[in-house]
Structure 1
Amino acid sequence: MKTRNFVAITISIAVVIGLLIYLRENATQDQVTLYSVLLWQLGIWIPWIIGFKILERTFKKIHKTKFGNFLLLGSGIIWVGLHFGWFFFLSSTYSPYLGLTGSRFGVYRYFFIFWTLIDVGLIWFIIDKLKGVEKEELPPPLLFELTRGSNKYFCEPTQIQLLVSENYYTKLYTTQGIFVMRKPLKSFQDVLPQDIFKRIHRSTIINVNYVSELARVDYKSLEVIMKDGTRRKVSRNFVKEINLYFRNRTS
């Protein structure tokens, strides 16, 4: 989750809570302006941006440790305590409701319910989003499980030389031989490292580390020659991209 998104969420919370308080305390509207209530709420909730950065750093450092979840929860509880301290300080000093009937420290009792629920909700929201980001950033699998007959083989991406689509199947040329998998080519493209696996045709993906030569067929056509002698035509749509890639890759 990006910081600017959380800033937008924090400002939205401040504005909504400010409006609710102002409308709820309609008897004081002749003494309190909506503008002052909104500024007060922004002052209370903006520090949650700092809390977000603290929880984000805490998550990155401790979530994989043995007691990571407990430490993360502890950090969240500590932050809620600090936020309550800030809330009391700001409200008892700058609240527009200071000195009004029924208020104490510039707040009314029901305020505490709002703040507690929102603080707990924000902790849950941030931790849940951070865990979601971590799952999205997981690296591609280190091994592919391939089958030939009744035997299973485990192949690293670096062992794959070439992938060719054949109808509903994909043929994988590897250092362990050729395998046919009932999966579309795109499913492999989505997980293979894009820095070394390049598409040269709608039906072909190559591992650039196994390329020995680029051969011109005519003015517009190009072939890739693999180290094992296999020749594959480069689609016209990819000729410029492949030429540029190898030009930048060589010294």
Structure 2
Amino acid sequence: MARVSVEYENHVAHVTLTRGDKRNALDDAMFKAIVAAGQEVAVSDARAVVLSGEGNSFCAGLDVASFAQLAGRDTEAYINARDFGDANEPQEVALAWRRVQVPVIAALQGAVYGGGLQLALGADIRIAAPDTKLAIMEMKWGLIPDMGGMVLLPPLMRSDALRQMTYTARPVSAERGVEWGLVTEIHDDPLAAARALAEEIAGKSPSAIRAAKRLIDLSERAGRADVLLAESAEQLALIGKPDQMEVIAANMQGRKPDFK
């Protein structure tokens, strides 16, 4: 059974977790399918991505049956492997979406737990339904978040809130998610809102959008001098180039840009 579908429309990649009968829980096949989808989208001509899950939950986290799969393999080798640059396979499930060079918008509903939350955090923007529940669930199973969570969570959250969620494994509401930086906005139809936003972004200069994502990512991990230098380099690579000239012409003519 396919775990993930990828469809393209108007320069937007629609990536959908398709294990809705299991609340899109993560098993080994789902890990591989999500990573493969990220790799596919990364080399496509997509200008924005919508990441969603079918059914009543975005992703309820690790499939409990997967614990048995882990017990049957060399866990140390699997966890310590750096098969994806600086990440192992579970970490790449979330980090693959940061490696995609265009904005990724996650549409969230129902349970967004554990690995599902970390997957959502790999997106640039998260739009949640009012009924969404979010949890750093790993402590329930005597574990810690290890799918990139400790790279993705600290820039978004206050330390005390992060510690409380991690130590207790208690779910929080979408409203609390907004307050704590996990959710960008709440919408009655998060998938429709995510698609509309993706289409809006896809209509902007593709080269400028990619440059902006690179720069924002760098700003979260580099020092002031490096960021300022990169800011100048990115701007110089945009000024006077075809995408910018098309934006200027379109604005002057009162039409939408037509990027090649």
TM-score, length basis structure 2: 0.20
Name which one, 1 or 2, has greater alpha-carbon Rg: 1
- Name the structure where strand makes up a greater proportion of residues: 1
TM-score, length basis structure 1: 0.20
Greater length-normalized contact order (CA 8 Å, ≥ 6 residues apart): 2
